[in-house]
Amino acid sequence: MIRLPVDVHDPGTLHRTETLFSGMWSVKRALQRDARDAVDAYWAGDVRRETDAKAWRLELGLSREGMERRAYRHMENSRHLAHHVTKALVMHQADEVFETSVSRHLFPDSSGRRHGRPRVGRWWDYTRIPGRARSHTTSRKWETFRLHGTLTGHLNTYRHRSLDRTVITPEQAAALPAGIGVLEQPRHLPAPMRPTGRVQTGEATARNTAKTRAATWWDRTGALAVVFTGGADSRRGDLVLPVRLPSGSGRWPRLLHFLNSPDSWHKIDLVRRRDTSASGGWAYEAHLMVLTGGYASPATKARRTAAAALERVGGIDGNVSNLSIISFPNTFAPADGDVETSRIEPSDAELAALAKARRKDRGRRRALDRSRRASNPVQYGPSKRQQARADRRQAAGLPARTVQTPGGARAANKAGVPKQPYRRDSLSAGYRLNRARLAEAAATQAAAKDHRARRIAEDITADHGANLITEDCDIRTWYRRWGKALQSTTPGRLITAIGRECEKTGGRMLRASTFTTKLSQTCFCGERVPKTLADRIHHCPACGLTGDRDKVSAALCAHVHLTDPDDPSSARLDIVQARHTQIVFHEGLQEALSSQPQRGARPARGHTHAAAHTPGHPGHGPLLDKTPPLGTGLTPNETRPANERHKAHVGTAGCTELTRHPATPAPHRHRADITALRDDS
């Protein structure tokens, strides 16, 4: 998939694009409400569901065809949607609602998990209009968004003035060294016109004259543009969105991979993202999906080829503050290679940048709160300080002073529900601008974290190979216990990126259950070494092995075998092989497992659902016979799967006190000594 920015500077084009998103959002909202009501009726009909669940779903319209018929009715009953949207767009939107809301709720995935009850999303979260895939059996059949033009035509239209005149094809532009300007596109791209005149069809009449037909968009060979025909009752013609391509030669090999073969173009989605500098606060893009593999640069291909040739097997131990990776030769013979170890943790510069971003985020949110209070002073009461000042003025006989920005609680009823919904508040232009900046900053930070995770994954696979094993931990329990402390390391994002890079390299990252392996409580010799989360140093009384707890678990991960690679519960630790590794790699293994205590993260303040520990435990572990200094804390390197619901969802097999795992804490059982759990890592 490639992202193609489109130009909507024209007021008419911008209005049509915004109206298109508004109309499709109303369709999706109506479908989500219908799906929610139908799902509630499905779970309420116990007898019908037990008799014939499939027939009951079909009767309620909980199928792909049923959702499409609902979408058609919404479009037909409205008097304005036909001017802006088409039945193909509405049908594909219904398919997406069925897949993302209904199907994932009614049917469990491969791991047995199901999503919750369908909900109605927010307008600000509606950022993508799904297009329908083109027909590859019928020529020139695109029912939604279409991409017209060619890469060669775009190069000829916006050719850079300093580009060598011998460069006339995209292949030649892609072969140029990086740093050379290929395109020179204006700030406002003009919308191309529909081709006119007649073109020859290649056939001849009975009088041996060439047949012709009227020219269409399919005959256009100029600059690239996304075209949408509009609704069935639309009288405003086609919606034409010019496409803007990267100008530098360094990006042209990727453009050549995606755009030089129109036969591989498959589907286009129209996407918007928050951009405070753009007109209307949104920037629009066309996401083109092609029927080819993703682009990989020559350097990336060479790196992945070298990583695939590494005959190694390794283990990963995920942690709140770091990732530990240890790998061995797949033969576990010292003659074939040494023990390799790596530790991934945020640097001081990254921690400082994260703290700065948090301060900015907190400042923006406080500014939003002040702006809302100033625009809706009637909905808020005075703060304690403001009320005390008013009482003093009243006692002194002074006139009351109007409070411009009340700092107290919002006006609510006895149940705590605000008297006026937040959506009915009047918002200033500054509030909307700050809100857009906040959303844009959050998206930028997420993209930066994804980029960092990809770079780290590339380095790990290059050093340790593409065959890795990690513990099957539920990151949600980590967030319940440690909260925002995970934002600095993002272990879930890192592990996901490593698994994706392993697959692209030709290997695979397997997941092993913590119930069947118990890596953190086991030694290489097979001796069980019980440890709490406070014990960060592994010391075996049987064999005398001493090392970092996380690295010991990572090394043991490399000795885990799975009967079914897709089932983490089939994982078993090969104690014989682990003991053999300890003997043959004695010196290298001991050196690899030795490390210094790492920086840690404080747990979330207050009460949480998953942070209870054994009563009477002091909360500090024996780490080098010293109490961890201020600013450090316990770092759990393993967690059990998230606790099941204490109350069953309507129509589902829920979890009760009898079905709850005996080792998991009771739901909603708070412990006041949660903040005592700290770690040195």
Q: How far is the CA of 87 from the CAs of 9, 81, 83, 271, in angstroms?
A: 27, 10, 11, 19
Q: What's residue 32's pLDDT?
A: 94
Lowest-pLDDT range, 72-81, 114-123, 178-187, 480-489?
Answer: 480-489
- Res 30 pLDDT > 90: yes
Q: What's residue 114's pLDDT?
A: 86
Q: pLDDT per residue over 144-186, tens digit each?
A: 899 999 999 999 999 999 998 898 899 999 989 888 999 999 9
* Average predicted confidence (pLDDT) for the chain: 83
Q: How confident is the model at residue 413 (pLDDT cuts 50, 70, 90)?
A: very high
Spell out the residues 6+ positions from residue 645 whose beta carbon is closer than 8 angstroms to its own.
654, 655, 667
- Res 98 pLDDT > 80: yes
- Both tokens assigned to 259: 């755009």
For residues 50 and 214, which has the higher predicted lDDT (pLDDT)?
50
Residue with tokens 């509405």: 90
Bridge partners (DSSP) listed for residue 243: 6
- Res 72 pLDDT > 50: yes
| Distance from C-alpha of 519 to C-alpha of 534, rounded to nearest angstrom | 16
Determine the Cα angle at 571 with ends 566 and 572, to 5°: 160
| Distance from C-alpha of 169 to C-alpha of 175, rounded to nearest angstrom | 10
User: 349-358 long-range contacts, Cβ below 8 Å, gap at least 24?
Assistant: 350/488, 351/488, 354/487, 354/488, 357/441, 357/445, 358/484
| In contact, 537 and 549? CB cutoff 8 Å | yes
Residue with tokens 């080792």: 663
Q: What's residue 586's pLDDT?
A: 83
Handedness of CA 427, 428, 433, 435 (dihedral sign): negative
Q: What's residue 600's pLDDT?
A: 43
Q: How confident is the model at residue 595 (pLDDT cuts 50, 70, 90)?
A: low
| In contact, 312 and 340? CB cutoff 8 Å | yes
Q: pLDDT per residue over 205-238, tens digit each?
A: 877 888 888 888 888 888 999 999 887 777 788 8
For the CA atoms of the chain, what is the radius of gyration? 31
Q: How confident is the model at residue 417 (pLDDT cuts 50, 70, 90)?
A: very high
Handedness of CA 21, 236, 13, 190 (dihedral sign): positive
Determine the Cα angle at 274 with ends 142 and 371, to 5°: 145
Q: How far is the CA of 356 from the CAs of 351, 363, 490, in angstroms?
A: 9, 11, 17
| In contact, 249 and 180? CB cutoff 8 Å | yes
Bridge partners (DSSP) listed for residue 183: 159
Query: Which DSSP letter does residue 338 get?
Result: -
Q: Is 112 exposed, middle or buried (0-12, 13-18, 19+ CB in 10 A)?
A: exposed
- Res 672 pLDDT > 80: no
Determine the Cα angle at 531 with ends 528 and 533, to 5°: 150
- Res 124 pLDDT > 50: yes
Query: Which DSSP letter does residue 680 get?
Result: B
For residues 655 and 488, which has the higher predicted lDDT (pLDDT)?
488
Handedness of CA 664, 522, 563, 310 (dihedral sign): positive
- Res 592 pLDDT > 90: no
| Distance from C-alpha of 503 to C-alpha of 498, rounded to nearest angstrom | 9
| In contact, 676 and 603? CB cutoff 8 Å | no
| Distance from C-alpha of 577 to C-alpha of 593, rounded to nearest angstrom | 18
Determine the Cα angle at 508 with ends 502 and 509, to 5°: 90
Q: Is 118 exposed, middle or buried (0-12, 13-18, 19+ CB in 10 A)?
A: buried
Q: What's residue 668's pLDDT?
A: 37
Q: What's residue 536's pLDDT?
A: 84
Q: How confident is the model at residue 3 (pLDDT cuts 50, 70, 90)?
A: very high
| Distance from C-alpha of 341 to C-alpha of 338, rounded to nearest angstrom | 10
What are the backbone angles phi and psi of residue 353, rounded to the nearest 5°?
-65, -40
**Crossing angle of helices 11-44 and 64-77, rounded to 10°:** 130
| Distance from C-alpha of 493 to C-alpha of 672, rounded to nearest angstrom | 31
Task: Number of helices (H) and strands (E) in the chain: give both, helices first.
Answer: 19, 18
* Mean pLDDT score, 57-72: 93
